[in-house]
Amino acid sequence: MGAEPADAERAKLLLNQLCRRLEHCGPVGTGASMKLAINLPLMVAWQAYGEAFAIARSAGWEPKRLLDLFVDTNGANPALKNRAEMIVTMLEGRDPGPTTFSIANGVKDLRTMVETGEANGADMRVTKATLTGFEDATKNGFGGERRIAHVGLLGHAQEILNAEGWDKKQEGFMQLFSFWRSLATYRVRIALNLKGITPDEVIEVNLMKGHQREAEFRKVNPMMAIPALIEDDGTVLLNPLRSSNILTRHIQIRRSCRKIRRRAREYVALRRSSLAIRIR
């Protein structure tokens, strides 16, 4: 974490109960930089695995045999070993389960990594190449909530994944304009997560560099403020948390989940009953 020493000591009382290892990296901001540095090799590795599997495809091996070999070599990191079964499922064209970290989020992090590295004088060649791979995967329909980031990257070669049917299920493209220091954006992302919604793309708007004043973003939000959310049909929500569309339209159209709709009705009934009590 990044914090002033006195603040860090107070936070440790709680964080030590939640974290396997806790490090005070320095002033505010250093914790975020260290997180980017730690995650960078992992992001690059998923891109590399996708390309490696594309090369190995010529051998004609079954996915399980291929992963069994990979995880038994020095080239396999712990993340690959832990997710080998899930990757085999994906390579066989089956659904590996719900998203834990989408490629859209990976694009956001990689862009921040490149920006931070360049600010420190590094050219970030490998990271830029990886970012291109993530962006291509997003353009090809692998950026949304159906695929976890590392498996989706294997779709950089679509023949391996044989996922043409999934592309046909795309319902639209949702974009969230965000900034990592924006508390308002965090609240929107928490609300979306609670409702099981993952934006297809998270676009970083660096408020400290004045990107919100650029013409491209002003077309989205003339008020030059974040967060801004572009829905599947192109509708722009400038205050997503106050819009009923988040509760109704997305849950009904994107998720079609009976359980969530039932909870929404219960919430409405509770609000009505509370209102009736206050009127009395």
User: What CATH number did the domain enclosing 269 receive?
Assistant: 3.40.30.10
Long-range Cβ contact pairs of 228-236 (< 8 A, separation 24 or more)? 228/176, 228/177, 229/174, 229/175, 229/176, 229/177, 229/188, 229/199, 230/174, 230/175, 230/176, 230/177, 231/172, 231/174, 232/171, 232/172, 232/173, 232/174, 233/172
Task: State how far the Cα of 214 lies from the Cα of 218, in Å rounded to an integer.
Answer: 6
Say yes or no: 254 and 136 in one domain: no
Task: State how far the Cα of 70 lies from the Cα of 74, in Å rounded to an integer.
Answer: 8
Say yes or no: 238 and 152 in one domain: no
Least confident range from 55-59, 119-123, 145-149: namely 145-149
Say yes or no: 98 and 226 in one domain: no
Residues 230, 133: contact at Cβ < 8 Å?
A: no
Residue the block writes with tokens 């712990």: 78
Say yes or no: 161 and 213 in one domain: no
pLDDT band at 212; cut points 50, 70, 90:
confident
Structural domain including 114 reads 1-170
Say yes or no: 157 and 180 in one domain: no
What does the pLDDT read at residue 236? Answer: 79
116: Cβ contacts below 8 Å, ≥ 6 apart: 33, 36
Helical spans, DSSP H, in the chain = 5-18, 30-56, 63-70, 78-82, 84-91, 103-119, 125-137, 149-154, 158-161, 164-167, 183-194, 215-220, 249-250, 258-279
Listed residues 113, 141, 170: the one ending a domain: 170
Q: Specify the pairing of strand 175-178 against strand 228-230.
A: antiparallel
Question: 74-97 burial, b for 16+ CB within 10 Å, e for fewer?
Answer: eebeeebeebbebbbbbbeeeebe
Task: State how far the Cα of 137 lies from the Cα of 152, in Å rounded to an integer.
Answer: 7
Q: Running DSSP on this structure, what letter comes out for residue 155? A: T
pLDDT band at 58; cut points 50, 70, 90:
confident
Say yes or no: 41 and 166 in one domain: yes
Listed residues 170, 186, 209: the one ending a domain: 170
220: Cβ contacts below 8 Å, ≥ 6 apart: 177, 228, 230, 236
**Residues above pLDDT 90, as percent of the chain:** 19
Say yes or no: 151 and 224 in one domain: no
Say yes or no: 227 and 263 in one domain: yes
Say yes or no: 105 and 226 in one domain: no
Number of domains in the chain: 2
Task: State how far the Cα of 16 lies from the Cα of 262, in Å rounded to an integer.
Answer: 38
User: Span 64-91, mean pLDDT?
Assistant: 88
Residue 202 β-bridge partners? 176
Residues 237, 231: contact at Cβ < 8 Å?
A: yes
Residues 97-124 pLDDT 10s: 666 677 888 888 999 999 999 999 999 9
User: Span 154-172, mean pLDDT?
Assistant: 40
Q: Give the CATH number, domain containing residue 33.
A: 1.10.1040.10
Integer-rounded Cα Rg, in Å, for the chain is 21
Say yes or no: 164 and 180 in one domain: no
Listed residues 119, 140, 170: the one ending a domain: 170
Is pTM beyond 0.75? Reply is no
Structure tokens at 189: 């992302």
Task: State how far the Cα of 22 lies from the Cα of 154, in Å rounded to an integer.
Answer: 32
Task: State how far the Cα of 73 lies from the Cα of 62, in Å rounded to an integer.
Answer: 18
